[in-house]
Amino acid sequence: MKDYSGVWVYAEHDGNAISRSTLEIMGKGRELASRLGVELSVVLFGYGVSDLVETLIEYGADNVYVSDDERLKYYKTLNYAKLLTELIRRHRPEIVLFAASYKGRDLAPRVAASLRTGLTANCIDLDIGDFEDREKGERFEKILYQIVPAYGGNVVATIITPYHRPQIATVRPGNFQVPEKFPGKGKVFQINFGSEDWDDDVEVLEVERDEEDSKLEKARVIVGVGVGARGSEGVKILKRLAEALGGTLGATRPVVDAGLLPHECMIGETGKVVRPELYLACGISGAAHHMIGVRGAKVIIAINKDPKSPICEAADYIVIGDIFEVVPKLLEKLGKHGDAL
């Protein structure tokens, strides 16, 4: 296992730009690589993607393995997995990180199974540390701690992959900040592959870009909607509040399940992870599986009727009151103070 070295990140993009989640992971990857004293490498697959190499170097890539090929124009699981697995076998990184996106969650398990190694899903943090296996009398230094929320978000588990390499994890988008630019050594390696084991069992018929880029990840202010909003009337006034604050709406699971707000608004263990400047929790009880998604918020303010609600422990400031009284008053005052309304 000693001959495995380096931190790798699999880069996602939409053909025009490197995805935000990849940049977030690169920031963390850079930090892990420095602590291990190894290089950060990024893998980039696609067609017409050579322009994106520069971005990867600006954000800290010491090495970029790029395969720019017409056959890679569309993401195809089998071919992408085969190519990536082969590259990992050849270069033996100790850590490989993917975004926990639809693509990353499709690709990473395929690669991990092919390499017969472990894979930890949806990490909210990563760290480097030691581990002693008392049963087997083995000691491991500087291995990857993969931190995931578990069992409804009330606890976090630290998962390790001590006996297998590479250590592979998918990382929840939104957990880390996009890092400052910090150029790496920037060596570029072109990867060519033969056509002999090219797989055509899957044909991409159509790609639909029908979803707006989520506003949640970029929002400075998020107004969180809980069941205390009591239906669409509450959603309406909270939407006005979000607009007045130059922010957007987020929601708890029950609110989304009730169809009051779309799925992409859901924050928490099974939804999005966000890190706004302000999270204004309105009528939210503060269950751990929701609050774990706003852990990165700079300030959390709760408006809630019930002073015994768990949200009162998990907020920086608490206004005890009915949102149907507090929010209209707040809107009125915000209107007086500026041209925001």
- Which residues in 171-200 contact other proteins (CB under 8 A)? 199
Contacting other proteins (CB under 8 A), which of 17, 48, 198, 202?
A: 202
Q: Give yes or no for residue 244 binding other proteins (CB under 8 A).
A: yes
Q: Give yes or no for residue 152 binding other proteins (CB under 8 A).
A: yes
- Which residues in 39-78 contact other proteins (CB under 8 A)? 75, 77-78
Q: Give yes or no for residue 5 binding other proteins (CB under 8 A).
A: no
Q: Give yes or no for residue 325 binding other proteins (CB under 8 A).
A: yes
Contacting other proteins (CB under 8 A), which of 245, 251, 255, 265?
A: 245
User: Which residue is listed with tokens 């990353």?
Assistant: 104
Q: Give yes or no for residue 262 binding other proteins (CB under 8 A).
A: no
The interface region with other proteins, picked from 2-10, 56-64, 206-214, 231-239 by CB under 8 A, is 206-214
Residue 192 vs 308, nearer CB to other proteins: 308
- Smallest separation (angstroms) from other proteins to the CB of 152: 7
The interface region with other proteins, picked from 27-35, 54-62, 115-123, 184-192 by CB under 8 A, is 115-123
Instruction: Output the CA torsion 246→264→106→161 (10° steps).
Output: 70
The interface region with other proteins, picked from 28-36, 88-96, 156-164, 232-240 by CB under 8 A, is 156-164
Q: Give yes or no for residue 156 binding other proteins (CB under 8 A).
A: yes
User: Which residue is listed with tokens 């130059």?
Assistant: 246
Whole-number Å distance between alpha carbons of 161 and 147: 12
Number of residues interacting with other proteins: please give it, by CB under 8 A.
94
Residue 22 vs 55, nearer CB to other proteins: 22
What is the spatial order of strands in the sheet that 95-99 belongs to? 119-123, 167-171, 95-99, 7-10, 40-46, 63-68, 187-190
Q: Could you tell me the two tokens for 22?
A: 């990849």
Residue 184 vs 234, nearer CB to other proteins: 234
| Rounded alpha-carbon distances, angstroms, from residue 281 to 111, 173, 177, 319 | 40, 21, 22, 10
Residue 88 vs 112, nearer CB to other proteins: 112
| Rounded alpha-carbon distances, angstroms, from residue 98 to 146, 166, 168, 200, 325 | 13, 13, 8, 24, 45
In three-state secondary structure terms, 316 is: coil
Sign of CA dihedral 29, 31, 33, 39: positive
Q: Give yes or no for residue 110 binding other proteins (CB under 8 A).
A: yes
Q: Could you tell me the two tokens for 264?
A: 């992409």
Beta partners for 279?
A: 222, 300
Listing DSSP states for 257-278 in one string gives HTTSS-GGGBBSTTSB----SE
Q: Give yes or no for residue 301 binding other proteins (CB under 8 A).
A: yes
Q: Give yes or no for residue 308 binding other proteins (CB under 8 A).
A: no
Q: Give yes or no for residue 306 binding other proteins (CB under 8 A).
A: no
Q: Are 289 and 253 in contact (CB under 8 A)?
A: yes
The site map against other proteins for 121-140 (x = CB under 8 A) is xx--------x---------
Residue closest to 222 by CA, chosen among 314, 308, 123, 296:
296
Q: Give yes or no for residue 3 binding other proteins (CB under 8 A).
A: no
- Which residues in 209-238 contact other proteins (CB under 8 A)? 209-211, 213, 220-221
Q: Give yes or no for residue 106 binding other proteins (CB under 8 A).
A: yes
DSSP summary character for residue 18: B
